[in-house]
Amino acid sequence: MPNRRCLLLLSLALLAPADIALAAKVKVWAPHQQSNFDKAKFTEAVVTSEGVLRLSRQVKPLAAIDAANVWDLVEDAKGNVYAASGDEGKLFKITPEGKASVVYKSKDGHIFSLAAGPDGSIYAGTGPTGKLVRIAPDGTATLVADKLDAYIWSLAYDPATKSVYAGTGPKGKIYRLTAAGKTEVFYTTKQEHILCLAIGAKGAVYAGTDKGGLIYRIAPTGKGFVLYHANQPEVRALHVVGDAVYAGTSAPVARRGSGFGSGSGVKSGGPGASTPAPGENSLYRIAGDGAVRELYRDKTMILRIAQNNGKLIVATGMNGQLFEVNESTKEKTEIARLNVGQIHCLLQRKDGALILGTGDPGKLFILENHFAATGNVISEVLDTKIQSRWGAMSWKANAPTRTTVTVAVRSGNVADPDDTWSAWSVEESSPAQAKARAPLGRYLQFRVTLTSENPKATPEFRHFALRYQTVNQAPELTNLEVPDLETKDLENAKKLKIRWTATDPNDDDLTFDIYCKKAGWKDWVLLEENYDKKDYDWDTTAIPSGLYQIKIVATDRKDNSAQDAFSVERISAVVPVTHLAPNVTVKFVGFEDGKAIVEASATDPYVRLTEASFAVDGKRWTNVFPTDGLFDGKSETFRFRTDALRPGTHVLVLRVRNAAGTFGSADVVIRKD
């Protein structure tokens, strides 16, 4: 029976303030993986592929320039840095002292590519009219080639032959500017765009393409060879070290700002464990013997590859992330995250510094060889669906000397944190004793703060877990089905199928008590207790015939104390239980054309009648129908004729079935002279 205390507590829970909330099942929020931080906000902090939070490498501005995108960077022998830009086609020169100036402005909207000659000359490739321009050390600009297709995406200088190679599009050609100043087609592919070039040993030219994701190796003689067919349509980054070639893909994803080069589709094959999904990109290493390894795969566009302090550095879009890749372990570690859309280019300076050129907006940065002094990560918002109270927090930290890790939380009742949310709690520094000290609420965030007084060291944070309890709410019984014998016939009258639907706002495990009561009884009779399914086969053979109701009581006591548990109930419609056969009477009223005329009636105290048939002398059964033509009630009358009978004594049996599957019968003896 329903518990008055439980019903009273349900009413109080709806009216009472949050601080008297009841307990429910303890749940755990444990964002351990890198993907759990996709929606987090990072400030001077990064997350590794293993889900570890660290301080980012320190990044500082190099020089202020006015550009939407910095497409390429080179350095001359005197340490001057040149930055190719768009959308206004400016070439910037940044002196070693950090002074920036415009040394050339193209009539094209973009300078996409640069190459530095040994004499201090800078070569610039433009679009959309495909000009190749030489800027002398004194700043004089000379057009050395025009209309090299529409776009000169990439340039590479070969010191052995003193030649400049230009990768172009949309016809997929590579041009060569010889030492004598002659421009010629060096190699023609069946691709659309040559997005990147690199010079290898013995003057080999490597090219990454768009449309088919091919990587070419072309001998100085112009003989081409497809080194690798990538699983993605765009190969945008190449880096050659000895006989190893590193290639990064840039499969189309949702983009911001200016973007050039396109492709669609993903091909099968390749060295990875599976075919990349649309939008996934890979960093490949192609060894001198042609063996290919996929070093990592992620949904970031790989825009440039470099090496810094002996490690691979990968520049990406769309979130301005810079990664460091460990070749032996294949671990990808984010080392910096800029407040820009893309890191288009990297330049390893002769003094060891790494310069970053970005887009959306166009800026220049220096990656320093030490960590930020402080950084933080604000998690995505946890939605517990209903009011919750917060418990213990735990995490694992590696905090070298003079570094610290602390965690704070805040809560609220709207999905987007605003001024109605609580203030950040006190900073918790001990994972063994930490509590989430935030007010009751539906939503919660945590903030990890990392600090270091040692520029060469960073603390690390991993395996965060927060325990919480949702305010206990009563279960809901939304439906209770019993057989409706007014509309359906039973296949098995001995067992009645009972079904119900129940949910719990707290995701507590529910148990059910099942009762029955016959019309006229004062009390309910318990059929099952602590039942854990949502359907029940009710064996009616051991109860008397009559009209019954079923009551289901759902309770969350399995996950709550007796004082805190809630119970709710639902009572079914009336369902008849009958072991009685329909009462049948039959009467012979005469002959007509040799056929016996019979009149009969049938009644049932509980359920409707569904069918009738007769047999003469134990032979075949013949269906008959009520006098009004319809089986539509608990009482029916019949009038029917047999087939012509031969003289003698005959026995006619009439049987009638009810909706519960029970048959009643009667018989009559017919004599024909």
pLDDT band at residue 253 using 50, 70 and 90 as cut-offs? low
170: preceding bond cis by omega (within 30 degrees)? yes
d(CA 185, CA 189): 11
pLDDT band at residue 352 using 50, 70 and 90 as cut-offs? confident
User: In this predicted structure, which of 136-150, 327-341, 471-485, 599-613 has the lowest mean pLDDT?
Assistant: 327-341
Tokens found for residue 551: 């009551």
pLDDT higher at 651 or 483: 651
Identical fold, 4-10+473-577 and 583-672 = yes
**pLDDT at position 267, please?**
34
Helix (H, G, I), strand (E, B) or coil at 6: helix
Sheet-wide strand order for 244-249: 235-241, 244-249, 281-286, 292-298
**pLDDT at position 24, please?**
59
Tokens found for residue 619: 């032979």
Domain 25-45+375-467: which topology? Jelly Rolls (2.60.120)
Tokens found for residue 426: 């006190």
CB 194 within 8 A of CB 209: yes
- What Rg value do the Cα atoms of the chain yield, rounded? 41
Q: Using CA of residue 75, residue 180, residue 239, residue 88, what is the dihedral sign?
A: positive
The domain 583-672 having CATH identifier 2.60.40.10: the answer here is yes
Tokens found for residue 143: 């057009």
Most confidently modeled range among 6-20, 177-191, 490-504: 177-191
Does the pLDDT of residue 162 top 50, yes or no? yes
| CATH number assigned to the domain covering 4-10+473-577 | 2.60.40.10
Mean per-residue pLDDT of the chain:
90
Q: Residue ranges per domain, the chain? A: 4-10+473-577, 25-45+375-467, 233-256+280-346+354-368, 583-672
Cα 309–Cα 315–Cα 319 angle in degrees, nearest 5: 135
Q: What is the pLDDT of residues 219-245, one digit of tens each?
A: 999 999 999 999 999 999 999 999 999
d(CA 55, CA 323): 13
Helix (H, G, I), strand (E, B) or coil at 530: strand
Does the pLDDT of residue 10 top 80, yes or no? no
φ/ψ region of 256 (left if φ > 0, alpha if ψ in -120 to 50, else beta) reads beta
| 432-446: average pLDDT | 96
In a 10 Å sphere around its CB, with 0-12 CB exposed, 13-18 middle and 19+ buried, how is residue 143 labelled? exposed
Gap between the terminal Cα atoms of the chain? 68
List strand residue ranges (DSSP E) for 95-249, in order.
100-105, 110-116, 122-127, 132-135, 141-145, 151-158, 163-169, 173-177, 183-188, 193-199, 205-210, 214-218, 224-229, 235-241, 244-249
Q: Using CA of residue 431, residue 437, residue 438, residue 441, what is the dihedral sign?
A: positive
Architecture of domain 233-256+280-346+354-368: 7 Propeller (2.130)
d(CA 617, CA 648): 11
- Bridge-based pairing state of the strands 495-503 and 476-481: antiparallel
pLDDT band at residue 526 using 50, 70 and 90 as cut-offs? very high
CB 505 within 8 A of CB 473: yes
d(CA 130, CA 145): 8
d(CA 496, CA 537): 6
Tokens found for residue 194: 């040559």
Tokens found for residue 554: 């759902």
